[in-house]
Structure 1
């Protein structure tokens, strides 16, 4: 029997809590599949969590609040693997802006509609 992959979440407290309540959370002795980003969370910690999630075999999707993704945009631009797939999502305080989403920019480019 094949085991499914996890969804990892990097975001503000409301976003991560919502996904944990929906059953996305997974915690083991080695760590968890989520990171709550607060005002005092160091940028290096967010970058390390993202890099760790991208190298895990059990993670299939990484959900990241767009405002957090903007803080580590330099890391996201260097990431080009298909799995895990990175999806930028809005938060309660920050609406989604497709102009800032690197994936949407690449899709636009491939479809001939953008720079």
Structure 2
């Protein structure tokens, strides 16, 4: 039987908690599908979480707060896979800026607009 794919979440505590309350959390002995990023979270932890989520067969979407995505933009620029899809989302503290979102930049490019 084919099982659906998970949504992985990388973000601040409020964002991740909201998604966990909505039921997207998945934890096994091997790990989980989320990372709460706090002020003392090392950049290497965020990079490793993204890289781990991006190669997992059971992850279909990676949701990441845009302000966290900005910290690992050097990795996101080189990520070109369709699945898992990476979606940048706003947080309570940081509003969404479509000009920083790589997906929105590509959509705009395909539609012939300039940013």
TM range (shorter): over 0.9
9-18 or 105-114, which moves further after superposition? 105-114
User: In the alignment, is residue 83 of structure 1 matched against residue 70 of structure 2?
Assistant: no
Shift of 1:110: 1.2
TM-score after normalising by structure 1: 0.98
Task: State how far apart, in whole Å, the 2-side matches of 1:25 and 1:41 are.
Answer: 20
Q: CA RMSD in A?
A: 0.7
In the TM superposition, residue 114 of structure 1 has moved relative to its aligned partner by 2.3
CA distance in 2, matches of 1:56, 1:64: 16
Inter-partner Cα distance in structure 2 for 1:47 and 1:104? 22
Give the CA deviation at 1:103: 0.8
Give 5+ residue unaligned stretches, structure 1.
Answer: none
1:43 paired to 2:73: no
Give 1:99's aligned residue.
99
2-structure distance, mates of 1:55, 1:73: 18
Structure 2 length normalisation: TM-score?
A: 0.98
Post-superposition Cα deviations, 1:14-64, rounded to whole Å, max 9, x if no partner, equal 000000000000000100000000000000110000000000000000000
Matching residue of 1:9: 9
> What is the distance in 1 between the residues matched to 2:4 and 2:102?
27
* Structure 2 residue ranges without an equivalent (≥5): none
Equivalenced residues, count: 115
1:21 aligns with 21
- Per-residue Cα deviation, 1:66-110 (whole angstroms, up to 9, x for no partner): 000000001000000000000000000001110110110011111
